Structures are given as structure tokens and as C-alpha cells.
Amino acid sequence: MAKKKILLINPLNQNYVKRLFPPLSLTTIAAYIPRTYDVEILDENLEKIHYNADLIALTVNTYTAKRSYEIARKCHELHIPVILGGIHPTILPNEAKDYANCVVIGESEKIWIKLLKDYENGSLKKFYKAHLYDFKREKVKIPRRDLLN
């Protein structure tokens, strides 16, 4: 059986001509997604967007919210479940929920196993709220920079 594909998107920031730093949040999230999934990171600041995935997750900042919501609408048209996370949905989860199948509130590292289990069972929740990550007690995974183009 083919692996399900998860596409992690860093939406276009129209205020920058070229992005200087890779999306660390997405490489970190990718490290917490089991290797039973095919994971791709797409930075729309550098690459043309596509929707070739079973599940799409976006990291949303306030300055990329409008573009993120456009991408989410397209996902819905294509019947692809979409997850929104990042600082903007964390601050305004009730706004983000109008565009997403699922909103992640807070740091998402510890949430992905539960979220993906619910996704596989067809029981994805509208909200997943993370607890603060304890860097002293938790084993931090190395970001998946190998997924960057």
C-alpha cells in the first residue's frame, strides 16, 4: 500500500521578494511525523504551489493569513483535509476554524501522533491544543532539513 502524503506549506509572504531562512517550524513538525507517511515541505516563497497530497498543513503568521486562507479554500474545493497552525491560528483559533478542518493551537510537536491517528480513523477534531513543550525534560527531535529543496 502506498504511503499517504502530507504536504507542509509555508505560504507566500508578499512582503518579501526572497525568503532568506528555511521554515524551521515545518522542518521541526516533519521530524515528529512518523516515517510511515511521505512528507514534503513546500515553501511558496521559493516554489510554485501544488496540491498533490492526502493531507495539507500550513504554518500561518498574521502576514500570511490571507494567503493561507486562499490555499485552504482551494484544499476544500479539492476535498483535501487542511490543518492550520502557527502563531495566527493560536491567537485567533475561531477565525482559523472557518478555513480549516483542524486548527492546532500552540506548539504542535507532541500533537502530531494523536492528530494523525484521528485523521486515519476519520475522527479529526476541529481543535488540538498543545501543552507547553518542556525542553529540559523532552527529547527534542532534529528538524528534517533533508526535506528542503
CATH of domain 5-131: 3.40.50.2300
pLDDT value at residue 123: 96
- Residue 9 CB contacts under 8 Å (≥ 6 apart), including other chains: 26, 42, 43, 44, 49, 56, 57, 58, 59, 71
pLDDT for the residue 51 = 98
Q: Write down the pLDDT at residue 144.
A: 74
Query: Does position 40 have pLDDT exceeding 90, yes or no?
Result: yes
Q: Is the pLDDT of residue 21 over 70?
A: no
Rounded CA separation 143/128 (Å) = 21
Query: What is the reported pLDDT for 46?
Result: 85
Element (H, E) at 71: helix 65-77
pLDDT of residue 140: 72
pTM of the model: 0.88
Q: Give the pLDDT confidence score for residue 5 in this predicted structure.
A: 98
pLDDT in tens, 81-130: 999 999 999 999 999 999 999 999 988 877 888 999 999 999 999 999 98
